[in-house]
Amino acid sequence: MKKLAVLAALVAAQPAFAASGPFFSLHNTNFVVLLAFLTFIGVLFYVKVPTMLGGLLDKRAAGIKSDLEEARSLREEAQSILATYERKSREVQVQADEIVANAKRDAELAAAQAKKDLAESIERRLKSAEEQIASAEAGAIKVVRDQAVSVAIAAAGKVMAEQMSAQDKAARIDASITEVAQRLH
């Protein structure tokens, strides 16, 4: 540091050599300015201004270094928080995909069950309709038979009435009464 100050003084003294007259005289203003400057520099070194400036610069460097360390730690913390959120986002996406897959599977199962239930309902209705048709058919056949029997009985009665004599009729009535009496006892 002292060498630097001497070198600065010599560089500053260059214009002093261009002055007229003897240089090392108190009448030479350049020499007086040089002495004042050197005295000022000496006072600065005596009061330890360079040490104080160095200390201030060191404090400033330490402050900057601590700020950089804090910024670095904040950056790392932000990166870890970002990684946590990204992980949570992936987990939520996986859960959402699972929910969608489950919903699709449930919908497919519900559709299959609905198809099965519909097929069973159609089958039951077809059976019911077939039973109703069969019942209606049996009813119609019975009605036709009953009417055919009635018509046949009426026709037979008419034919018998025309072909039978009064004696045959009386004999048949007596035979029927006897048969009924035997069956009732």
HSE at residue 87, side-chain half, CA atoms within 13 A, is 6
Q: Residue 183, CB half-sphere, CA atoms under 13 Å: how many?
A: 6
Lowest mean pLDDT among 84-88, 93-97, 159-163: 159-163
Give the pLDDT confidence of 132-172 residue by residue, as tens digits. Answer: 998 888 888 888 888 887 887 777 777 777 777 778 778 88
Helix, strand or coil for residue 160? Answer: helix
Determine the residue type at 29.
T
Closest listed residue to residue 171, CA positions, set 159, 179, 182? 179
pLDDT in tens, 28-59: 888 899 999 999 999 989 999 989 999 999 99
> Over 80: is that where the pLDDT of 115 sits?
yes
Give percent of the chain above pLDDT 90: 50
**Cα separation, 41 vs 54, whole angstroms:** 16
Chain centroid to CA 64: how far?
46
Looking at residue 15, the DSSP 8-state letter turns out to be G
How many C-beta atoms lie closer than 10 Å to residue 34's C-beta?
19
Q: b vs e for 98-115, b when ≥16 Cβ sit within 10 Å of the residue's Cβ?
A: eeeeeeeeeeeeeeeeee
